[in-house]
């Protein structure tokens, strides 16, 4: 039962009966009553004065009387100027709690046969380097958005496009051929994606030295960049790969396998997964076919140097290259092919790309090109554009080896979680094995929550130490409160205290009522998070719920409460808060430890 909707509906009826005014839902403004006034929900009556033609106080009194007579859940009201404060009945709050306690996955809508199928693309790594902090934000956002969409009753396909071909991987391949000395993950003990990333950095180091040498000999910067031996070698490898040269393809497969093995470990650690993985090496040919069809149909044009372009000046954009003069494709070509393959593979109702805001232009162009090519779903593609992650030390650069590798960051987070937990004596009662698993859980909660609580559209600064604080708006703080609730429930069981969902309580305190209000809002919070594709909505709701619970816990006895009805009510309230926290945090991909 959504109390806001119920009151909204009755207010609309009241306005029609009292003042012959057909109000819309948007005109009925409800808000939580301020803590210094009696009441639970406040109706703002100022927008109705031109229809009532009465003072704010009189209008509020008339509406209050109407609601009191019409709705059982309202037991009283008071008027403060143009604000009608409604007092909700105790019976309603007990009903809310009982329903939330007894409903499995309270707030979550299960998908049906007619549910929309949403495909969410995230991760999209290159196979020339390990996943880094920027990829972590991408993966966590993509996974969480997928889980939130599921909780809103959608069918969801989580997908990944691996950029496994192109000049970037050829740079790592060239460096391995020139300076690798037969190094492999097995004989070096280096994780495969890290090893290939080292060769990418090695390439850049040699390439820069060659450019400097050529410019000293009188070459222009552009000439030096184009004629340096390393870049010419990498381009030659790309041409050989596209010509299916056996030796080149074999090396490409080998080095990519090293990377995939490394990625799989990182994905497992991050707790993210995919229902379907596409590879650019498969999709770019489909994209080339579509581009050549577009060329044949006069949608695109060929320049004198043999490259193929789209003219988007009529759309207010510029010229966009689709095939280079040597016939090799660009990212746009691959994305056209991937989109075509996906819509052939699945009956997708909505396609969401989780990609950073530096690619806003790319997806604007992609939608236009797909529409030009006659794909009716082209303009409906949704680019979930998010901000960049920076460290206190500044921006990261892959080529220069200054990125923060995801694996290194996770390891650092686990170490910080271990050190802080040991200093505070948080896990002293756990076995060594249980403690290690919990350190991992705390570390991942800290990382995920710190990233997901921020509005996705904003750039953010990531600080590992700040994220693991056991107080404040952090994942570990929420985990600790959940573990506290589980401890209370365990002790109740150990003392043979049965929890009865049939609720009665002599009175409900303000702190208890605040918690009940939060619980009643959870279904609407899930919907808001789904409508806005915003894990931050769920994250910050969980934090506010936990804050309310800790205030309640501080002020009220639970197990020591002598009154059986009140004790039972508080146990049901605690268990329900725990369930809601777990459901919400699961949507963020965060595990909840039973003990901390």
pLDDT for 139 beyond 70: yes
Query: pTM of the entire structure?
Result: 0.90
How does DSSP classify residue 315?
G
Q: pLDDT tens across 63-102, in order?
A: 999 999 988 889 999 999 889 999 999 999 999 999 999 9
Q: pLDDT tens across 304-343, in order?
A: 999 999 999 999 999 999 999 988 788 899 999 999 999 9
Report the b/e string of 156-179 with b at 16+ CB within 10 A.
Answer: bbbbbbbbbbbebbbbbbbbbeee
Considering Cα of 345, then 351, then 353, then 354, what sign does the dihedral take? negative
Beta-bridged to residue 44, according to DSSP, are 83
Over residues 493-521, mean pLDDT: 89
How many angstroms separate the CA atoms of 173 and 186, rounded?
17
Confidence of residue 388 (pLDDT cuts 50, 70, 90): confident
Q: Are 291 and 174 in contact (CB under 8 A)?
A: no
pLDDT for 402 beyond 70: no
Sequence-ordered list of residues with C-beta below 8 angstroms from that of 474, at least 6 positions apart, any chain? 446, 449, 450, 466, 467, 468
Q: Which two tokens stand for residue 525?
A: 């919070």
Q: 115: buried, middle or exposed (CB in 10 Å: 19+, 13-18, 0-12)?
A: middle
The 308-311 sheet, strands edge to edge: 301-302, 308-311, 319-323
Say which residue the tokens 């969980």 belong to.
Answer: 542
Integer CA distances (angstroms), 466 to 417, 421, 426, in order: 11, 14, 18
Beta-bridged to residue 311, according to DSSP, are 319
Q: How high is the pLDDT of residue 582? A: 98
The larger pLDDT score, comparing residue 569 to residue 35, is at 569
How are the residues of the chain apportioned to helix, strand and coil, as percentages rounded to the nearest 5? 60, 10, 30
Mean pLDDT, the chain, rounded, equals 92
pLDDT for 183 beyond 50: yes
Q: Which two tokens stand for residue 442?
A: 């705390």
Confidence of residue 393 (pLDDT cuts 50, 70, 90): low
Q: How high is the pLDDT of residue 397? A: 47
The 83-88 sheet, strands edge to edge: 30-32, 41-44, 83-88, 74-80
- β-strand pairing of 30-32 with 41-44: antiparallel
Q: How high is the pLDDT of residue 9? A: 92
Say which residue the tokens 């008027």 belong to.
Answer: 79
Sequence-ordered list of residues with C-beta below 8 angstroms from that of 146, at least 6 positions apart, any chain? 120, 122, 156, 158
Sequence-ordered list of residues with C-beta below 8 angstroms from that of 256, at least 6 positions apart, any chain? 127, 164, 169
Over residues 557-563, mean pLDDT: 94
pLDDT for 401 beyond 50: no
Q: Are 132 and 249 in contact (CB under 8 A)?
A: no
Length of the chain (residues): 596
> Could you tell me where the DSSP H helices lie in 152-191?
167-179, 185-188
Q: How high is the pLDDT of residue 1? A: 57
Considering Cα of 290, then 296, then 299, then 301, what sign does the dihedral take? positive
Report the b/e string of 415-453 with b at 16+ CB within 10 A.
Answer: ebbbebbeeeebbeebeeeebeebbbbbbbbbbbbbbbb
Q: Are 340 and 332 in contact (CB under 8 A)?
A: no
Domains and CATH numbers, the chain: 3-88 (3.30.1360.70), 122-390 (3.40.50.620), 406-587 (1.10.730.10)
Q: Which long-range contacts (CB under 8 A, 24 or more apart) does 93-96 make?
A: 93/508, 93/513, 93/516, 94/503, 94/504, 94/505, 94/508, 94/569, 95/1, 96/1, 96/3, 96/516, 96/519, 96/520
């Amino acid at each position: 039962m959504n109390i806001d909707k119920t009151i909204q509906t009755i207010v609309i009826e009241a306005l029609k009966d009292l003042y012959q005014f057909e109000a819309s839902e948007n005109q009925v403004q409800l808000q939580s009553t301020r803590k210094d006034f009696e009441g639970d929900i406040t109706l703002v009556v100022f927008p109705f004065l031109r229809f009532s033609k009465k003072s704010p106080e009189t209008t509020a009194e008339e509406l209050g009387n109407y609601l009191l007579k019409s709705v059982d859940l309202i037991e009283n009201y008071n008027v403060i100027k143009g604000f009608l404060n409604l007092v909700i009945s105790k019976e309603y709050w007990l009903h809310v709690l009982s329903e939330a306690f007894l409903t499995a996955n309270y707030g979550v809508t299960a998908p049906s046969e007619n549910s929309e199928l949403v495909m969410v693309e995230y991760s999209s790594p290159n196979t020339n380097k390990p996943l880094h902090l920027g990829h972590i934000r991408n993966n966590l956002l993509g996974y969480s958005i997928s889980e939130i969409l599921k909780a809103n009753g959608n069918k969801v396909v989580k997908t990944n496009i691996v950029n496994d071909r192109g000049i970037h991987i050829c740079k790592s391949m060239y460096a391995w051929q020139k300076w690798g000395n037969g190094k492999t993950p097995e004989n070096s003990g280096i994780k495969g994606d890290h090893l290939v990333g080292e060769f990418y950095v090695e390439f850049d180091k040699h390439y820069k030295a060659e450019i400097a040498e050529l410019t000293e000999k009188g070459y222009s910067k552009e000439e030096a960049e184009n004629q340096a031996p390393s870049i010419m070698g990498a381009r030659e490898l790309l041409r050989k790969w596209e010509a299916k040269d056996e030796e080149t393809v074999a090396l490409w497969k080998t080095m990519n396998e090293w990377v995939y093995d490394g990625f799989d470990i990182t994905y497992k650690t991050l707790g993210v997964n995919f229902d379907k993985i596409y590879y650019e090496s498969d999709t770019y040919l489909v994209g080339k076919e579509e581009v050549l069809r577009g060329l044949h149909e006069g949608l695109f044009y060929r320049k004198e140097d043999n490259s193929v372009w789209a003219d988007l000046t009529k759309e207010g954009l510029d010229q966009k290259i689709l095939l280079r003069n040597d016939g090799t494709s660009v990212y746009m070509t691959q994305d056209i092919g991937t989109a075509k393959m996906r819509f052939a593979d699945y009956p997708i109702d909505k396609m969401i790309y989780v990609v950073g805001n530096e690619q806003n232009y790319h997806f604007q162009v992609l939608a236009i090109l797909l529409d030009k090519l006659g794909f009716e779903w082209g303009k409906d593609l949704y680019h979930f554009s998010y901000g960049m992650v920076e460290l206190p030390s500044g921006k990261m650069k892959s080529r220069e080896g200054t990125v923060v590798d995801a694996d290194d960051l996770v390891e650092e987070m686990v170490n910080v979680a271990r050190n802080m937990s040991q200093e505070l004596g948080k896990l002293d009662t756990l076995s060594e094995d249980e403690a290690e698993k919990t350190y991992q859980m705390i570390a991942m909660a800290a990382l995920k929550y710190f990233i997901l609580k921020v509005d996705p559209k904003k750039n953010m600064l990531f600080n590992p130490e700040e994220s693991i604080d056991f107080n404040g708006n952090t994942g570990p703080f929420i985990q600790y409160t959940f573990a506290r609730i589980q401890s209370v429930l365990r002790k109740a069981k150990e003392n043979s205290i049965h929890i009865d969902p049939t609720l009665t309580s002599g009175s409900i305190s303000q702190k208890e009522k605040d918690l009940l209000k939060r619980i009643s809002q959870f279904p609407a919070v899930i919907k808001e998070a789904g409508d806005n594709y915003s894990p931050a909505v769920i994250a910050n709701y969980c934090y506010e719920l936990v804050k309310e619970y800790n205030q309640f816990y501080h002020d009220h006895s639970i197990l020591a409460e002598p009154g059986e009805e009140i004790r039972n009510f508080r146990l049901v309230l605690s268990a329900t808060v725990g369930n809601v926290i777990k459901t919400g945090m699961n949507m963020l991909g965060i595990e909840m430890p039973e003990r901390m």
